[in-house]
Structure 1
Amino acid sequence: MTDLLSSVQAALGLPRTPIALTSSGALPSAFAVTELASASIAAAGQATAELLHDRTGRLPALSVDRRLASFWFATSLRPLGWSVPPLWDPVAGDYATQDGWIRLHTNAPHHRRAAEQVLGPVADRPAMAARVAQWNKHDLEQAVVAAGGCAAQMRSWNDWQAHPQGQAVNAEPLVHWLAHSVGAAQPWRGSQARPLAGIKVLDLTRVLAGPIASRFLAGLGAEVLRIDPPDWNEPGVVPEVTLGKRCARLDLHDTADRQVFENLLGDADLLLHGYRADALERLGYGAAERQRIAPALIDVSLNAYGWSGPWQNRRGFDSLVQMSCGIAEAGQRWQQADKPLPLPVQALDHATGYLMAAAAIRALTERLKTGAVGSARLSLARTAKLLIEHSQGHAEDALRAEDQNDQGLLVEQTSWGPAHRLRVPLQISGTPLQWDHPASDLGAHRPQW
């Protein structure tokens, strides 16, 4: 843990001080997933503590419960009398090809259509398996990606090291900092209890990593407004990740909606986005235009496969990156299994989310101090490299099973029904993580601050 945490602290410019960890046990995996969960949450907490230290002169005490951190990397929500929809589309998953394995990611309807454009329409997994079995993995990966879909053949870590994209990721930092401009130091509108009060966060992220970041920021008092396109939905994760936020829809191909978006952006302190590297540029909102609209804007972004190399604009998700970079193959060998074995949770997404939140808070701290406006870029593939290189197998006992005491006392009245959340794994003395809004459906609010 010390080694992994110190790497994260160095990437974020945080003091390399130890952070108190409580509870024992670990998620079963070929990799130190519990350590990654604890380190990334600890880093977000430490960034918060350093902001408070800078503003108040007092450094709060921190601790992270490793067991609760592991559970939050799966899901924090415990519905009362209702169920969250399934996370995966019925035909999403791993399939055997003629010469290995491939993963198809078909959760979004247009991604499923792309896969079926290549493989033909299918009704269920057995039908898809029969189609996939006729292909070799490289050709099928290429064909699905070319059709606008999402697929990843299973590679080993050594294969990934020899791949041009693996080599590109190796050359990238865990957090890539970009300096923009220097203006006047900003007044702090927060307090010890709500350190991010008064900070407006415009959230253009989807599915997991980015929404995990903005959920954390909302828990510290930031005003988070999530914007989605008119037809986007992700029912399996929305109840988990929209806690603390308001959620609206805008069509950035519509002139009136673009004006609304530009007004929102102009008033934002922080933009979070997780589109492919070229997507905002194609919408007319490249980095230079964003800076023109909002000169003091802090911009924190992520993508799947890194910000350089031939795959920098490739669609990707946590499960695909695990297949590409050797994690699923290492899991298969670790378990001596007959198929790919991913991590027990989507740890690349969650960890990258907390690292994004930490980077955002570091940038906000710097803007408060000096007026300097900076941005940060992260990627799932670079977080995967951190995990792989710092944490090959371990023999810790399994985590103690969840019990009633792990749930918070409050009942959250979500858009779908009442629910509990697990108790938060991070304790910052004098600064409780607490959210002002229950989880709500996408498009439930108006696009305004």
Structure 2
Amino acid sequence: MDDSFAEVISRMWHAIGADDSADWPATQLTTAGPRTVLPAAFDVTGLATGAVAIATVAAAQLLAARQDSRPPAVTVDSVESCAAFASERLFTPIGWTRPPLWDPIAGNYRAADAWIRLHTNYAGHRAAVEQVLGAHDRETVQAAVAELRAEELETAIVEAGGCAAVMHHRGQWLASVPGAATADAPPLNVVERQSSGSSAPNPSGGRPFDGVRVLDLTRVIAGPVCTKFLAGYGADVLRIDPQGFDEVPSLLPETTLGKRTASLDLTAPADRATFEELLAGADVLVSGLRADALKRLGYDNEALTAMNPGLIIAALDAYGWDGPWRNRRGFDSLVQMSCGIASDGATATGQEEPFPLPVQALDHATGWLLAASVARALTRRLTHSTAARIQASLIGTANLLYSLTPPSDHLPAPSTEGIALEATTTDWGPARRVPLPGRIHGVPVHWSQQAGPLGRHPALWDE
């Protein structure tokens, strides 16, 4: 392994609960590429390369456990890893037009006393902003925001069902109640229980997750990054959304790749029965809902375990699993504003306005870390008869990023823009996309489903 990435990867390896030094992949893993690809006030290149590395290594180790063989070699390139963290921006339709990544009024605004970010990519979140401000376009929103105090506006929008975040510097965040509650939040928390469930050995297709059934309750970027990785290496991923759910349309050509998508109403008895049948047949449940969302529907951890004792339960949220913001709606760009990242970026570049990371790094890193932890949990289920409950959060990943040694300067670096994209097909038309980074020697990556709209498949497992 390249010594320049070794410390970062070691820290992430232990973050997924891999405390056994015998599993440390130093001799299995080769890293390549420049140490800095994405210039920032933080080690975003190390975060991206390390997250891809441990997920790919964990998948290779699962394959070895299932085949009772030595783990295959893994190679990870820093440029490819960083390009994957920009995949939604680099995705290129051929002969058709993808909707914009951002709603027209989403973005940063100067309030009377501080900067605030409004997140309006979902119709309901935009409606909350319009209701609070009485404004409906960027010019009138800016005029209305400028008259208000940022904290008061943030509270009003959140109470109206919307999403907003005031820009804090790191000290302000850690001194706040939600910041103090999550100051030590790890990127992942893994709790194991004894289980009779096991993952069948000798995968027929020669890929780590062949035959593994993954029930996917995730959206936007972080959770879908996790489940797309699992699907690429063989998992049967079934994404479930509420009927009529309107996901950010520009993300679907990337985030639905490799997955079947179905719709269920979990307040309707018949659909609940279908969902419970799916749960009983699943190996892994991945949820990106707010902390108490499944509990409110009657599916807390105890209920899920009763339905399926061997089920691996993986969940992620924005602002962590403790403190007053555990159920707050949140997104990568908002967490960067809240926790100090956007402020520190502004300081490093000599700017007054927020300066975020060059990619949605908290989202992507959390997705890769979650995929690594799921692979690790499947290995442990096979070798130690345990099942895991995994909790991840964007704020925990932000804490991890703060723990990494920052680059010595903010100089230009090799760009991800020139990376070779690969051809893909979608239900909307052909396109070119960023290849999955990381290589497991002798193991192909293949997605059995092309990207497409939500709710287009039956809510059934493949036979």
Q: TM-score range by the shorter chain?
A: over 0.9
Mapped partners of 2:234, 2:268: distance in 1:
32
Deviation at 1:84, TM superposition (A): 2.0
2:348 to 334, 346, 362: 334
1:103 partnered with 2:103 = no
> How many angstroms does 1:123 deviate by?
2.7
Inter-partner Cα distance in structure 2 for 1:435 and 1:186: 21
Q: Which blocks of at least 5 consecutive residues in structure 2 are unaligned?
A: none
Report how far residue 392 of structure 1 moved: 2.2
1:23 to 10, 33, 41: 33
* Per-residue deviation, 1:422: 2.6
Helix, strand or coil at the partner of 1:344 = coil
Assess, with a 3 A threshold, how the Cα gap between structure 1 residues 89 and 361 changes in structure 2: closer, same or farther.
same
Cα deviation per residue 1:137-171 (whole Å; 9 max; x = unaligned)? 11111111111211110001111121222222223
> Given residue 413 of structure 2, which amino acid in structure 1 is its aligned partner?
A
**Is structure 2 residue 142 aligned with structure 1 residue 129?**
yes
Q: 2:399 aligns with which of 385, 393, 409?
A: 385
Is 2:166 the partner of 1:146?
A: no
RMSD: 1.7
Q: Does 1:289 align with 2:303?
A: yes
Alignment of structure 1 residues 31-46 onto 2, 5 Å: 31-46=42-57
Judging changes above 3 Å, is the alpha-carbon distance between structure 1 residues 198 and 17 closer, same or farther for their aligned structure 2 residues?
A: closer
Give the distance between the partners of 1:186 and 1:34, measured in 2 at CA.
Answer: 34
Corresponding residue number in structure 1 for 2:413? 398
- TM-score where L is the length of structure 1: 0.95
Please point out which of 66, 69, 94 is paired with 2:81.
Answer: 69
Q: Distance in 1 between matches of 2:113 and 2:216?
A: 41
- 1-side partners of 2:380 and 2:431: how far apart? 37
Query: For residue 435 of structure 2, what is the aligned residue in structure 1?
Result: 423
Matched, 1:4 2:4: no
Query: When the two structures are superposed, what TM-score results if normalisation uses the length of structure 2?
Result: 0.92
The answer as to whether partners of 1:184 and 1:370 remain within 8 angstroms in 2 is no
User: Counterparts of 2:157 and 2:272 in 1: how far apart (Å)?
Assistant: 31
Q: Displacement of 1:179 after TM fit?
A: 2.2
Residue identity matched to 1:420: R
Shift of 1:400: 4.0
Give the direction of change, closer, same or farther, for the CA distance of 1:189–1:119 in structure 2 (3 Å limit).
Answer: farther
Query: 1: CA distance between counterparts of 2:92 and 2:443?
Result: 24
1:209–1:351: 8 Å Cα contact kept in structure 2?
Answer: yes
Q: Distance in 2 between matches of 1:173 and 1:329?
A: 22
The AA in structure 2 aligned to 1:20 is T
Identity among equivalent positions (%) equals 46
1:191-223 Cα distance to aligned partner (Å, 9 max, x none):
573121110000000101000000000011000
Query: Contact between 1:186 and 1:371, CA under 8 Å: does it hold in 2?
Result: no
Q: Please give the alpha-carbon distance, in whole angstroms, between the structure 2 residues aligned to 1:148 and 1:220.
A: 37
Label 1:192 to 1:57 Cα distance change in 2 as closer, same or farther (>3 A).
Answer: farther
Tell me the distance in 1 between the aligned counterparts of 2:206 and 2:92: 26
1:4 and 1:386 in contact (8 A); partners too: no
Pairwise CA distance, 1:262: 1.1
1:45-444 correspondence to structure 2 within 5 Å: 45-55=56-66, 56-75=68-87, 77-120=91-134, 122-183=135-196, 185-188=198-201, 190=203, 193-232=206-245, 233-395=247-409, 397-400=412-415, 402-403=417-418, 406-408=420-422, 411-444=423-456
**Which residue identity does 2:6 align to in structure 1?**
T
Counterpart AA for 1:27: L
Q: Which SS does the other structure have where 1:170 is aligned? A: coil
Offset, 1:397? 4.8
Task: Single out whichever of 131-140 and 416-425 deviates more from structure 2.
Answer: 416-425
Rounded Cα–Cα distance in structure 1 between residues aligned with 2:379 and 2:96: 41
Structure 1 regions of 5+ residues with no counterpart?
none
Contact residue 191 and residue 389 of structure 2 kept, 8 A: yes
The one-character-per-residue Cα deviations of 1:399-425 (angstroms, maximum 9, x if unpaired) are: 14544x7123xx422011012233332
- SS in structure 1 of the partner of residue 326 of structure 2: coil
Change in CA separation of 1:127 and 1:391 when aligned onto 2, cut-off 3 Å: farther
Mark the CA change 1:402 to 1:144 in structure 2 (over 3 Å): closer, same or farther.
closer
- SS of the residue corresponding to residue 249 of structure 2 reads coil
Contact residue 45 and residue 428 of structure 1 kept, 8 A: yes
Q: Which runs of 4+ in 1 moved over 4 A?
A: none
Q: Residue 184 of structure 1: CA displacement?
A: 5.3
The 8 Å contact of residues 193 and 430 in structure 1, kept in 2 or not, is answered as: no
Between the two proteins, the alignment pairs up a number of residues equal to 445
Greater mean alpha carbon deviation, residues 106-115 or residues 323-332: 106-115
Structure 2: distance between partners of 1:20 and 1:349: 25
Which amino acid in the other structure matches residue 9 of structure 1? W
